[in-house]
C-alpha cells in the first residue's frame, strides 16, 4: 500500500526546505576584503624613485649653499697659528668678501686691514690659502726686523707670533733688492722691483698684501706677491670642528732612528680615544 506523503503544517519548515533545494548563488568577495588586515608593501617604505628624488633635492641644496653661501675648508699648515691650528675645519662665508658684480645674494662687505681671508693661491689657482690682510691698495709697506710699518707707522699686531727661527733678512727686512730668497716666485721678484720706492713696497689698486700670523713660518705675500680682489673667496666664520693631530700622523716621527728605543705608553681606553681625538674647546669658535 502506498504511504501518503507527509506535509508539514509549519510554513517555516516548508520555506527552509524549499530554500535548501533551490540552487545556491554565492556573491563574489570584494577584492579589498581579503586584504583588509594586510598592509600594502608600498605603504611600508618609500619607493626607490621617491628616495632618489629626495637625494637629488639634498644635492641641489648642498650645491647651492657651497656655490653661493658658505664652504668648508681644512687648515693643513701652521702658517696661521695660533689663530688657526692644523686640523681646524672652517666654514667660510663666501658672501662676505665676494668681488663687486659677482652676483651675490646678500650684501658684501669691504676687505679691511686685519681681516682673515680665504683666496686662490696666486701661484696655483687650484689651491686655496688662508692669511691675514696687512696691506691695502695704495699703502706703502715695509718690514724692519720683523715688524710691519704701514705708511711710516708701526702696525700693532696682537695676533702675530714670532717663534725662534734662524735669521732671514728677506723675511724680516722686506722688501729687499739684494740676495733674493730661493723660495721667492721669480715672476713676483721681477714685479716687486718695479713697485719699490724709498725702501717701501707700494700696493697697487685692486690688490692686497697678506701675511701669516705665524710670522717666521709662513709663505705669504713676501714670497709670491699680492692677492687680487677677484681671487678672494670669502672670510672664515667659525671653526666647526678641530681635529687633534697625533704623533702617528707626523712623518717626522716615523723616521727617527731611536723611535724603537722610546718607552711605550699604555694604550688609551676606548672612551679616551673617542674624547681625545679632537680639540672640543675650539668647536664653534668664531674666527677673528
Nearest Cα neighbor of 84 from 148, 121, 129 is: 129
Catalytic residue flag (residue 79): yes
| Max Cα–Cα distance, the chain, nearest Å | 153
SS3 110: coil
Count of C-beta atoms within a 10 Å radius of residue 132:
22
Query: What is the spatial distance between Cα 127 and Cα 141, in angstroms, rounded to a whole number?
Result: 26
SS3 161: strand
> Which entry of 79, 218, 221, 242 is annotated as an active-site residue?
79
Query: What is the spatial distance between Cα 68 and Cα 108, in angstroms, rounded to a whole number?
Result: 12
> Which entry of 9, 47, 131, 218 is annotated as an active-site residue?
131
Count of C-beta atoms within a 10 Å radius of residue 54:
11
Catalytic residue flag (residue 270): no
Q: For residue 214, give Cα distances in angstroms to 79, 129, 281.
A: 5, 14, 21
Query: What is the spatial distance between Cα 38 and Cα 25, in angstroms, rounded to a whole number?
Result: 28
Catalytic residues: 79, 131
Amino acid at each position: 500500500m502506498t504511504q501518503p506523503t507527509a506535509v508539514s503544517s509549519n510554513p517555516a519548515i516548508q520555506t527552509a526546505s524549499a530554500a535548501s533545494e533551490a540552487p545556491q548563488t554565492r556573491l563574489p568577495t570584494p577584492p579589498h576584503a581579503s586584504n583588509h588586515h594586510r598592509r600594502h608593501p608600498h605603504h611600508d617604505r618609500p619607493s626607490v624613485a621617491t628616495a632618489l628624488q629626495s637625494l637629488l633635492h639634498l644635492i641641489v641644496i648642498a650645491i647651492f649653499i657651497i656655490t653661493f653661501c658658505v664652504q668648508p675648508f681644512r687648515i693643513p699648515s701652521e702658517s696661521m697659528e695660533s689663530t688657526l691650528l692644523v686640523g681646524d675645519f672652517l666654514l667660510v662665508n663666501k658672501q662676505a668678501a665676494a668681488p663687486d658684480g659677482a652676483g651675490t645674494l646678500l650684501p658684501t662687505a669691504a676687505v679691511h686691514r686685519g681681516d682673515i681671508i680665504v683666496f686662490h693661491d696666486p701661484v696655483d689657482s687650484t689651491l686655496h690659502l688662508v692669511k691675514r690682510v696687512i696691506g691695502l691698495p695704495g699703502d706703502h709697506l715695509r718690514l724692519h726686523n720683523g715688524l710691519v710699518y704701514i705708511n711710516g707707522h708701526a702696525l700693532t699686531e696682537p695676533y702675530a707670533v714670532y717663534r725662534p727661527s734662524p735669521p732671514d733678512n728677506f723675511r724680516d727686512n722686506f722688501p729687499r733688492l739684494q740676495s733674493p730668497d730661493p723660495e721667492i716666485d721669480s715672476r713676483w721678484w721681477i714685479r716687486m722691483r718695479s713697485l719699490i720706492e724709498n725702501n717701501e713696497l707700494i700696493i697697487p689698486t685692486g690688490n692686497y698684501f697678506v701675511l701669516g700670523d705665524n710670522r717666521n713660518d709662513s709663505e705669504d705675500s713676501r714670497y709670491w706677491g699680492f692677492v687680487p680682489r677677484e681671487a678672494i673667496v670669502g672670510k672664515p666664520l667659525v671653526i666647526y670642528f678641530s681635529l687633534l693631530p697625533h704623533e702617528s700622523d707626523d712623518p717626522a716621527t716615523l723616521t727617527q732612528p731611536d723611535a724603537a728605543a722610546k718607552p711605550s705608553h699604555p694604550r688609551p681606553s676606548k672612551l679616551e680615544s673617542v674624547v681625545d681625538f679632537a680639540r672640543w674647546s675650539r668647536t664653534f669658535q668664531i674666527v677673528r
